Structure 1
Amino acid sequence: MSGADPAAPRPPLALRLGDVLDLRRDHPCGSRRWTVVRLGADIGLVCAGCGHRVLLERRVLERRLAAIVERGPEG
């Protein structure tokens, strides 16, 4: 046995308002960098390149996330 059950639920990604994220694919404006502006089942993001706002399901964001570049304020 390999140990971890692939069907077991994973804990949700610990995001904060103001986090700066890099996603795996470029936005059409050429930027990969996004800022978290809304938390919940859907995550609100603003593109750092052009200011475009999107809502992504948490599961979709977890798959597309490349790195958390900068953490927002705690609280």
Structure 2
Amino acid sequence: MEQKTFQLNDIVEMKKPHPCGANRWKVIRMGMDIRIKCVGCGHSVMIPRKEFAKKMKKVLETSQE
């Protein structure tokens, strides 16, 4: 299985959409846990890095830093 790479401020797509209907998330914090923010409604969720890597489908936009 390939290692998924992502950075701070990337826009990612998760396997399941958010209840608001959007499926675009912005990575706003990285560490042992990853905090992502829904682009549609602004709700943020913190999940463990291992679980995030399992649930992330792909990176849609990379940060321009």
TM-score range, shorter chain: 0.7 to 0.9
Identity across matched positions, percent: 34
Structure 2, gaps ≥5 residues long: none
Indicate if the aligned counterparts of 1:43 and 1:56 stay in contact, CA closer than 8 A.
yes
Structure 1, gaps ≥5 residues long: 1-9
TM-score, normalized by length of structure 2? 0.88
For CA contacts below 8 A with separation 6 or more, give which structure has more relative contact order. Answer: 2
Larger of the two Rg values belongs to structure: 1
Residue 63 of structure 1 pairs with residue 54 of structure 2: yes
Question: Which has more strand, going by share of residues?
Answer: 2
TM-score, normalized by length of structure 1? 0.77
Runs of 4 or more consecutive aligned structure 1 residues displaced over 2 Å after TM superposition: none
